[in-house]
Amino acid sequence: MDTSTSLTDWAALFARTAPVPISPPLLLGILVAAAALSIPRATWQYFGLFTTLVHELGHALAAVLSGRVVHGIRIRRNHSGDALSSGRGAFGTVVSGVLGYPAPAIVGAAQLLSVFNGYTAIALVAGGVVLLLTLLVIRNLFGTLVVLASAAVSAALWVYATPAVQSYALLVLGVALLVGSVRGLVTVIGVHVRRRGQLQTSDAYLLYRRTGVPSVVWLAIFAALIGGCCVLTVMAYLAR
């Protein structure tokens, strides 16, 4: 086997490619497909689990980057989850608490920008690697099944789909994650407005308990981060 040729072939898989064309009718189809994943209850009961996984990974990654130790992640059937971490100082706790609800929007925007700029292969592989690493910290059986199912979809796209299909699939997934993040924000705002008996499930309330900063400030930060991701992707599409 020619090692140099093999390395060249592998490098070519991750090289920047020409971005896929996105005509207005195709864009409409992508938006419809993303809405079909993230809005109807029948599909949200499944796709929402992936959004919850990304939410908890946002907590976990922020914890690691701020010097905390992640002890485990749990995902439950009712779309709730936990990312348990420990460490000294309030900074890591705050950063970890803030980056849960915006995480799906951040990941979705990153996927869309990757496709817009011809880096679909890198985005797909990076996502698959993160999912495999997540198996090291997942702490319940149902959560493990969610991670394995997500990894299986990623692997199927990598093995069986053409580069164009991969790109369009990531576009649908990216938009669906943005919608899912907005949906999560609306849900947590609803907890504060109409279902205050469930405040213990709100990251904004938990941040208030830890810092004394009112929940409305944290909700505004969530909204600013999610809205910023949405605006960024729209601007990137228009600039193509």
Q: Over 60: is that where the pLDDT of 10 sits?
A: no
Mean pLDDT on 59-73: 93
The pLDDT of residue 195 is 86
In this prediction the pTM is 0.92
Structure tokens of 80?
């709730």
Question: Cα torsion for 125, 128, 130, 131, to the nearest 10°?
Answer: 180
The C-alpha atoms of residue 205 and residue 195 are separated, in whole angstroms, by 13
Instruction: Categorize the per-residue pLDDT at 196 as very low, low, confident or very high, splitting at 50, 70 and 90.
Output: confident
Mean pLDDT on 107-135: 94
Mean pLDDT on 108-121: 95
Mean pLDDT on 16-36: 90
Higher per-residue confidence, 5 vs 33? 33
Task: Tally Cβ neighbours within 10 Å of residue 131.
Answer: 22
SS3 assignment for the chain: CCHHHHHHHHHHHCCCCCCCCCCHHHHHHHHHHHHHHHCCHHHHHHHHHHHHHHHHHHHHHHHHHCCCEEEEEEECCCCCEEEEEECCCHHHHHHHHHCCCCHHHHHHHHHHHHHHCCCHHHHHHHHHHHHHHHCCCECCHHHHHHHHHHHHHHHHHHHHCCHHHHHHHHHHHHHHHHHHHHHHHHHHHHHHHCCHHHHHHCHHHHHHHHHCCCHHHHHHHHHHHHHHHHHHHHHHHHCC
Instruction: Categorize the per-residue pLDDT at 4 as very low, low, confident or very high, splitting at 50, 70 and 90.
Output: low
Residues 213-222 have pLDDT tens digits of 999 999 999 9
Mean pLDDT of the chain: 91
The pLDDT of residue 12 is 56
Q: Over 70: is that where the pLDDT of 15 sits?
A: no
